[in-house]
Amino acid sequence: MHPYQPEGLTGAELATANKEQVKHWIRLTKKAAEADDTKIDLKLSGKVAELRARLAAFLGLDITNVIISKTKASAAVKTETTIDETIRAKQWEHWHVLGDEWFRAAQNQMPFRLQQTGQELPIARDTVLFKSICDVIAAFPLRPTDPIAPPQERLTNVSRQTVNLWIQAVCDGQDRLALVYLHTLRNLLYNMSEGAHFLMTTSTTMDDSPPTPGPVTPSHLPQLPISTSIASPTPLTRTSSLNIINNNALSTFPTPPQVLRTQEAMTTQADAAIANTSSVTLITLPTAATLQDAISQCESGLVARIRAAYGPHEGKKGTAANPAIWATYKVNITRRERLHSVLQEDFDGDKERFFAFFSKPDSHPKRGMKRNRATMEAQASDSTANPRVSFAVNQVVDAIPKCRADVKMAMCDLSAVERLDRWGVKNDFEIWRELGLERYGSR
């Protein structure tokens, strides 16, 4: 052991010490040498590896073997499999299993499903919808080459309109599994309608060929009692991955002509009744860019016709005739009605005074006009040089409750006679302006 070696310092500790610790040991070593009147050359500058090497060489410590053994130990730790890596390996193994199943299903012309057929539908358990869907799906074999097939004439026992309504009911319940079932059924019906047309045209033109079996169709497809007030279902995108019938077999079917569209229209009486209710003629409500447009729509009877067609029939309260369509018109219709009531009740139907009151100077001068002092004075004396524009419809409608509340607060201590003596025949909006409380927008 070197006489100047700090107490407790070993080669193992020096090999793993940080820079500040090594500097501290160098200072202790130099201090011990100075106490013995010996001057040593140990610099405190440099990287930590250089400081370790200098101090180890001076004190005669071996740190090489310690570093090598430490490196081997860390390498051994890295090679050990952790729990997280094991979990990830099992997850990838599961993906490989799914891939093998998919590959085998494709070779055997079988559908590959993550959910097995016949599992319970969460929202439709023990209900008529669940039984109907399961019966329909179970009636279809897994492969189009299955020899057992219901007769061709049973193709129209269920229609795509009915399946669309089932899909709408399942979407309302947010049942994804049932939705997958119904999408599959809808694609099957479309594919089989293509196959039916192809086979019928082939059998009529090729008399010497043996009869081709019809496509697979369900033996019994029960219909659900569905209200005729349901709107027309939204068209759904075909999902190719859900087709149970082999895509290779379907690739030989030609694109169905216009005649095939008539076959899709062969539905049950319930389907026809439902389809007829979806043909609703919509009344267009143009955008009211100005107050004049909004008032004109009220006076032309357009607003009243839309309320009578879709809104509540008895006054402005009650159940709407068509809630779905009324929801899209309600805000715009009520705003125009409130605006028209202000014209009739507060301004006595005087449209000129009404439009003049709810107008403001145009803040955007003509392009290229010089805004010097002389021009501004000339415009102030000439009323035609300062065009006025009306407030937006929403600004005026939103200001109505503000005006009523402010005027009511200001008139709370006045009787009807006192109000007449003070304000005369001015309406609430004119009083609101003279009180200095008039504001529009978010103010």
More confident call, 73 vs 152: 73
CA dihedral 435, 436, 441, 443 (to 10 degrees): -110
Of 41-45, 222-226, 436-440, minimum mean pLDDT range? 222-226
Bigger pLDDT: 69 or 269? Answer: 69
Q: Is the confidence at residue 341, as pLDDT, over 90?
A: yes
Residue 224, pLDDT score: 37
Residue 343 pLDDT > 90, yes or no?
Answer: yes
Model confidence band, residue 136 (pLDDT cutoffs 50, 70, 90): low
Distance CA 47, CA 52 (A): 9
- Where does the pLDDT of residue 110 fall: very low under 50, low under 70, confident under 90, or very high at 90 and above? confident
Give residue 413's pLDDT band: very low, low, confident or very high (50, 70, 90).
confident
pLDDT at residue 217 greater than cutoff 50: no
pLDDT score, position 146: 45
> What average pLDDT does the segment 305-316 reach?
80
Q: Residue 294: pLDDT above 80? A: yes
- Supply the pTM of this predicted model: 0.37
Give which of 122, 247, 225, 218 is closest to 166, Cα–Cα: 225
- Give 179-189 pLDDT, tens digit per residue: 776 777 777 66
Task: Please give the pLDDT value at position 347.
Answer: 92
Question: What H or E segment, with its residue span, contains residue 405?
Answer: helix 393-410
Q: Please tell me the predicted confidence (pLDDT) of residue 235.
A: 36
| Gap between the Cα atoms of 136 and 13, Å rounded | 77
Give 360's strand partners. Answer: 389
pLDDT band, very low/low/confident/very high, at 252 (cuts 50, 70, 90): very low
Q: What is the dihedral of CA 164, 165, 170, 171, to 10 degrees?
A: 70
- Mean pLDDT over the full length of the chain: 68
